[in-house]
Amino acid sequence: MEGRSTTTSAAESPEIQYHPPNPPNQIFILSGQSNMAGRGGVVKDHHQNRWVWDKIVPSECSPDSSILRLRADLRWEEAREPLHADIDTGKVCGVGPGMAFANAVRKRSDSDSDVIGLVPCAVGGTAIKEWERGSRLYETMVKRAEESRRYGGEIKAMLWYQGESDVSDIHDAESYGRNMTRLVKNLRHDLNLPSLPIIQVAITSGGGYIDKVREAQLGLKLSNVVCVDAKGLQLKPDNLHLTTEAQVQLGLSLAQAYLSNFC
């Protein structure tokens, strides 16, 4: 067409121009709501009347050149806290369980060439019904998961921490198990991974009908689905979100669950 340039820039066609120098071969989806997205170290700055991250990174969450994360623009970069900063954009993100998990798994690797890829998808304040097939959150998660294996990597598991938004209503709490079962089956079908390991977290906060949600999480009877119980982990003063130290403990527990059950 007259007047239109035929030159294509890298920004316009990242799928043609971009290729990560060392793409991951072991990929993990991180999904759910705020405690997966990470609120560890997020504090109130009373002088400016806003929430900020204290930028304290425990040694267990240190960056490593062999641990990558998939950015919001679907490009790989070296992973570092906060993993969900450009994903859960409605809130301030801090330390979550992802980096502690990845470092623990990486240390147990038999090969120096293994590269771990983390795919952050969690969004704070979301109920499980917002993750139904066809929803924006679900379809974005599937799209990111598909993109993550473009360069030949294998999706090893999904880590799921969600449920605090389903404890207030009795119907939501009682239907949690059915909704979670449907989510697992849909995700496995849509990714063509019928045996995809799922490591879910049994929530430890939220009040209301929390016992019913926990019962569903701890009692889910699906193959290759295991549950890590967050009960007893330290909460921040809001009695909802895990502290930085608790997130590290959770990440290590998730890694142990993965290594014990799926490796």
**Which residues lie below 8 Å from residue 145, measured CB to CB, with a gap of 6+?**
27, 29, 119, 121, 155, 191
Strands 67-70 and 76-78, bridge-based pairing: antiparallel
CA of residue 168 relative to chain centroid, distance: 23
Catalytic pick from 34, 66, 148, 205? 34
Catalytic pick from 31, 84, 241, 253? 241
Report yes or no: 241 and 34 within 8 Å, Cβ to Cβ: yes
Catalytic residue status for 34: yes
Residue with tokens 């969900």: 84
Catalytic residue status for 211: no
Report yes or no: 101 and 36 within 8 Å, Cβ to Cβ: no
CA of residue 178 relative to chain centroid, distance: 21
Catalytic pick from 9, 47, 195, 238? 238
Catalytic residue status for 109: no
What are the strands of the beta sheet with 116-120, ordered from one edge? Answer: 76-78, 67-70, 116-120, 26-32, 154-161, 198-202, 225-229
Report yes or no: 222 and 250 within 8 Å, Cβ to Cβ: no
Report yes or no: 155 and 196 within 8 Å, Cβ to Cβ: yes
**Number of other CB atoms surrounding residue 78 within 10 Å:** 12
Backbone angles phi, psi at 161, to 5 degrees: -130, 105
Q: Residue 183 and residue 213: Cα distance in Å, rounded?
A: 15
Active-site positions read: 34, 238, 241
